[in-house]
């Protein structure tokens, strides 16, 4: 029997599992309290268990609108198996469907190789322009 894999937008009853996934690397309570405009959460299910999630937000501060990736998390037991890349590919597909410019992400230095492996380019290094972390972008190729 093949494992059941599904990526979908989060539902209200997913939030406990999402909090469990993100609690190690992200201040979930802060994000939950913020009133983020136009954000969506995707979840990755494996055999009916939520094993990953990502939060995206529309950015329209640029001439061409894009997405901001606020988090991308996979449960530790499921890391380094391609699940994060699959979730990121779904976000890229969403960018193409919506005719957006690309995806912006701010991350810690140790995550730069992961995003570069997924075709992101470093835009701003740590402490440049008052930014905490490193800013990378993936551009939709037309």
- pTM to 2 decimal places: 0.79
pLDDT of 131 strictly over 90: no
pLDDT of 113 strictly over 90: yes
Residues paired with 106 in a beta bridge: 135
Return d(Cα 93, Cα 96) in angstroms, integer. Answer: 5
Return d(Cα 94, Cα 112) in angstroms, integer. Answer: 22
Beta strands, E only, the chain = 5-9, 39-46, 49-59, 66-74, 102-107, 121-124, 134-139
Instruction: Render pLDDT for 22-46 as a digit per residue (tens, 0 to 9).
Output: 765 554 444 444 444 467 889 999 9
How much is the pLDDT for 36? 46
How much is the pLDDT for 2? 66
* Closest-CA residue to 23 (of 34, 33, 15): 15
3-state secondary structure of 33: helix
95 and 66 Cβ atoms separated by less than 8 Å? yes
How much is the pLDDT for 26? 53
In the chain, % of residues over pLDDT 70 = 80
């Amino acid at each position: 029997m093949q494992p059941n894999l599904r990526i979908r937008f989060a539902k209200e009853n997913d939030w406990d599992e999402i909090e469990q996934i993100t609690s190690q690397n992200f201040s979930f309570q802060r994000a939950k309290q913020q009133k983020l405009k136009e954000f969506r959460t995707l979840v990755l299910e494996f055999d009916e268990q939520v094993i990953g999630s990502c939060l995206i937000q529309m950015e329209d501060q640029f001439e061409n609108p894009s997405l901001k990736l606020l988090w991308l998390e996979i449960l530790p037991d499921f890391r380094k198996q391609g699940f994060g890349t699959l979730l990121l590919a779904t976000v890229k597909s969403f960018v193409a469907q919506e005719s957006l410019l690309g995806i912006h992400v701010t991350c810690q230095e140790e995550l730069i190789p992961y995003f570069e492996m997924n075709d992101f380019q470093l835009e701003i290094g740590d402490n440049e322009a008052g930014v905490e972390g490193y800013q990378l972008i993936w551009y939709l190729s037309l």
